[in-house]
């Protein structure tokens, strides 16, 4: 409060009231014409008057003046901090009535200095730069307004870190190749691939003997075969062959849902392993005559109308052979996109219902085989899944020998079952759709759910040029720029299916597993029961679309298995695995991780490189480093924190 000086006054009496009635005693006496009252209640109106005083007594009072003090703002809320390289960014929620903010800093919890490191800050965020990497900083913020400064906020802290070392493109490409062409890299595999080169990798993998499913599994349940599959995926040397065979199994589907019998499933799967690098045309015939496929899609003991009381031949395998295994529904451009009729601008069908009926007739006359060329079946043979199907003797009329027209080709009358089958498979194999259809399917299984037309066309050209050599096709898929380049786009990559999710983590942890049921059980809980695909469309539909990914939405087959429940199963699996929840069944080699544990950033960078190929975002990396730092000094606890926070987020579950 300020008043004009009185020439004869030696002091001044200050009177105050909140009721309108002044008392006789002054509130204060001052010798200058100024007065400040600390701590008046906010929101209360105070009225003042002043009288001068000298040796002659007190003079008349001044005119009255009133003021209502304004309260200081509330303390800021929503305080958070994000570490960067030598700096920390602070954010907070704006406070009503604040005109500025003060930022206080310390290097211990609750140890902020009295003087702010940032004063008069207009708004959030505030960047505190010039900090020492690796040192933890603790902050509080106040709001400043006409009524003064607020209390300090709650505390937030962060530790600035240098940026992650950028892995070179060769390292990233090697990581991607191992995620796509094996069940995931083990420690040291990326360095080996960089050193030996891609040609060395393919030479080694092509020379590796196929994994063996022994005959002893015939006498056990199919669940035992699942466990054996997991053990081979975890430790088998023929990693590329296994991944290709698994991809083929998801295209040429036979399911334990209908055939819960290892005598049926294992010979079929061995066929895929042995044919993984062979001719697609040879594979077409081998799978067509496989008795498990014959039983699953009703080709075994299929008979022509003449023998079968004018009942048409079963069309199931004929339809799926074209729709799912070789051609697709519509004619395709070389890049796998749908070809449109130039007149109607509508998709052109790849085949007609008449083609389905004709092919069904062509495929008649086969029954279970006994593996002996000396015997020729004369009718329906006893169920036997261990040998390819055999043609029934022509005299028995199981095979429809009448004339047919299939995909525009004439099939003359009087031709026996096997040469007519070969003719039909040749006609299908020569169709322009086969190369782009198979190329796109295999790219989806190994690399990305949404390959570009250029990617598909490039691989399809290799398919055609190599006459369907799967060895050449797989090499073209895995060495294409879209597969090995370290850049990634929103539409690239694919979700790691449950089998890959589980096995790749165990491999990266260099785990030794002595009892494998938990692996197949957990994979099934995540939505993929090995050898038991839910339908002929496989474990998940190849055309499944992911919601909220654009117009039209992106394709993402493996996302069909990801629900709120299975996502939690994935997270719980990680927690249980690194927490020792599987007991003596799993031994993890933590040595490569604990050797990095003393430095949180070093540990997180090593873990991020091993599991994501160095794709952790700066924000995620910073948060994981902070969590590792807060987890204490114990190496095992720090490693567990880094592993869990790296493996659960989408970055490590989506291969890109």
Residues 394-444: tens digit of each pLDDT: 878 899 999 999 999 999 999 999 999 999 999 999 999 999 999 999 999
Cα Rg for the chain, rounded, in angstroms? 38
> What's the mean pLDDT in 575-595?
93
Are 353 and 322 a contacting pair, CB within 8 Å? Answer: no
Q: What does the pLDDT read at residue 511?
A: 95
Phi, psi of 440 (to 5 degrees): -65, -40
Q: What does the pLDDT read at residue 1?
A: 60
Q: What does the pLDDT read at residue 323?
A: 97
630 Cβ contact partners less than 8 Å away, ≥ 6 residues apart = none
Q: Is the dihedral of CA 157, 158, 159, 160 positive or negative?
A: negative
Question: Which of 348-352, 451-455, 624-628 has the lowest average pLDDT?
Answer: 624-628
Of 470 and 63, the one with more pLDDT? 470
Q: What does the pLDDT read at residue 486?
A: 63
Question: Which of 257-271, 444-458, 614-628 has the lowest average pLDDT?
Answer: 614-628
Q: What does the pLDDT read at residue 3?
A: 67
88: enclosing H helix or E strand: strand 87-93
Distance from C-alpha of 56 to C-alpha of 462, rounded to nearest angstrom:
116
> What's the mean pLDDT in 89-115?
95
Residues 501-544: tens digit of each pLDDT: 999 999 999 999 998 899 999 999 999 999 999 999 999 998 99
How far apart are the two ends of the chain, measured CA to CA in Å? 69
> What's the mean pLDDT in 75-84?
92
Both structure tokens of 60:
């008349």
Q: Say yes or no to pLDDT of 227 above 90.
A: yes
Distance from C-alpha of 278 to C-alpha of 477, rounded to nearest angstrom:
15
Are 74 and 150 a contacting pair, CB within 8 Å? Answer: yes
Q: Say yes or no to pLDDT of 490 above 80.
A: no
Distance of CA 518 to the CA centre of its chain: 22
Query: How many residues does this entry show for the chain?
Result: 656
Taking each helix axis from N to C terminus, what angle separates 189-207 and 169-181, rounded to the nearest 10 degrees?
A: 40
Are 428 and 321 a contacting pair, CB within 8 Å? Answer: yes
Confidence of residue 68 (pLDDT cuts 50, 70, 90): confident
Q: Say yes or no to pLDDT of 548 above 90.
A: no
Q: Is the dihedral of CA 188, 194, 195, 198 positive or negative?
A: positive
Distance from C-alpha of 224 to C-alpha of 501, rounded to nearest angstrom:
20
Confidence of residue 141 (pLDDT cuts 50, 70, 90): very high
230: enclosing H helix or E strand: helix 222-235
| Among 278, 268, 239, CA closest to 446 | 239
Q: What does the pLDDT read at residue 550?
A: 86
Q: What does the pLDDT read at residue 470?
A: 98
Distance from C-alpha of 271 to C-alpha of 16, rounded to nearest angstrom:
101
**Rounded to 5, what percent of the chain is helix, strand, coil?**
40, 15, 45
Task: Reply yes or no on domain 77-158 having CATH 1.20.140.90.
Answer: no
Residues 554-567: tens digit of each pLDDT: 999 999 999 999 99
Distance from C-alpha of 549 to C-alpha of 180, rounded to nearest angstrom:
23
Give the bridge partners for 405, in sequence order: 410
> What's the mean pLDDT in 194-223?
96
Are 265 and 225 a contacting pair, CB within 8 Å? Answer: yes
Q: Report percent pLDDT > 70 for the chain.
A: 99
Q: Say yes or no to pLDDT of 313 above 90.
A: yes
Phi, psi of 257 (to 5 degrees): -60, -40
Distance from C-alpha of 564 to C-alpha of 548, rounded to nearest angstrom:
16
411: enclosing H helix or E strand: strand 409-411
């Amino acid at each position: 409060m300020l008043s004009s000086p009185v020439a004869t006054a030696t002091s001044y009496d200050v009177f105050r009231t909140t009721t309108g009635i002044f008392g006789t005693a002054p509130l204060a006496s001052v010798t200058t014409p100024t007065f400040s009252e600390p701590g008046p209640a906010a929101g209360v109106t105070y009225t003042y008057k002043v009288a001068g005083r000298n040796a002659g007594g007190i003079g008349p009072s001044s005119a009255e003046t009133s003021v209502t003090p304004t309260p200081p703002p509330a303390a800021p809320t929503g305080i958070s901090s994000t570490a960067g390289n030598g700096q920390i960014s602070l954010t907070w929620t704006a406070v009503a009535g604040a005109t500025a903010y003060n930022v206080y800093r310390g290097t211990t919890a609750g140890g902020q200095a009295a003087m702010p490191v940032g004063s008069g800050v207009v708004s959030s965020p505030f960047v505190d730069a010039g900090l020492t990497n690796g040192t933890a900083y603790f902050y509080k913020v106040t709001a400043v307004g006409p009524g003064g400064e607020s209390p300090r906020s709650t505390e937030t802290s962060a530790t600035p870190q240098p940026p992650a070392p950028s892995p070179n493109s060769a390292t990233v490409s090697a990581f991607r190749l191992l995620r796509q062409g094996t069940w995931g890299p083990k420690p040291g595999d990326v360095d080996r691939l960089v050193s030996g080169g891609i040609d060395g990798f393919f030479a080694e993998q092509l020379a590796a003997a196929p994994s063996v499913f022994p005959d002893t599994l015939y006498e056990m349940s199919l669940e035992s075969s699942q466990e054996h599959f997991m053990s081979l995926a975890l430790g088998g040397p023929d990693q590329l062959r296994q991944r290709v065979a698994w991809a083929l199994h998801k295209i040429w589907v036979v399911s334990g849902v209908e055939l819960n019998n290892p005598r049926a499933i294992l010979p079929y799967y061995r066929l895929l392993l042995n044919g993984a690098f062979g001719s697609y045309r040879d594979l077409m015939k081998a799978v067509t005559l496989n008795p498990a496929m014959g039983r699953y899609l009703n080709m075994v003991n299929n008979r022509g109308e003449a023998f079968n009381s004018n009942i048409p031949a079963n069309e199931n395998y004929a339809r799926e052979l074209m729709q799912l295994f070789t051609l697709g529904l519509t004619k395709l451009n070389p890049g796998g996109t749908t070809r449109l009729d130039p007149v109607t601008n509508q998709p052109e069908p790849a085949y007609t219902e008449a083609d389905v009926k004709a092919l069904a007739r062509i495929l008649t006359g086969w029954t279970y085989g006994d593996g002996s060329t000396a015997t020729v079946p004369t009718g329906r043979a006893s169920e036997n899944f261990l040998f390819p199907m055999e043609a029934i003797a022509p005299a028995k009329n199981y095979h429809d020998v009448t004339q047919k027209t299939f995909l525009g080709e004439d099939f003359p009358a009087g031709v026996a079952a096997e040469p007519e089958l070969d003719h039909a498979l040749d006609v299908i194999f020569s169709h322009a759709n086969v190369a782009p259809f198979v190329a796109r399917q295999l790219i989806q299984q190994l690399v990305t759910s949404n390959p570009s037309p250029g990617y598909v066309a490039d691989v399809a050209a290799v398919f055609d040029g190599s006459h369907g050599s799967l060895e050449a096709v797989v090499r073209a898929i895995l060495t294409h720029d879209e597969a090995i380049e370290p850049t990634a786009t929103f539409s690239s990559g694919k979700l790691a299916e449950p089998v890959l999710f589980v096995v790749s983590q165990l491999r990266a942890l260099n785990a030794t597993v002595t009892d494998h049921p938990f692996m197949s059980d957990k994979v099934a809980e995540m939505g993929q029961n090995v050898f038991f695909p839910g339908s002929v469309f496989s474990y998940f539909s190849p055309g499944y679309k992911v919601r909220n990914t654009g117009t039209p939405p992106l394709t993402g087959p493996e996302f069909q298995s990801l629900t709120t429940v299975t996502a939690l199963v994935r997270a719980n699996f990680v927690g249980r695995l690194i927490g020792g929840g599987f007991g003596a069944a799993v031994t993890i080699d933590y040595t490569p991780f604990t050797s990095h544990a003393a430095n949180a950033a070093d540990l997180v960078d090593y873990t991020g490189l091993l599991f994501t190929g160095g794709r952790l975002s700066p924000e995620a990396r910073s948060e994981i480093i902070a969590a590792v730092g807060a987890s204490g000094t114990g190496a095992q606890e720090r490693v567990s924190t880094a592993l869990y926070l790296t493996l659960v987020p989408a970055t490590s579950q989506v291969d890109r």
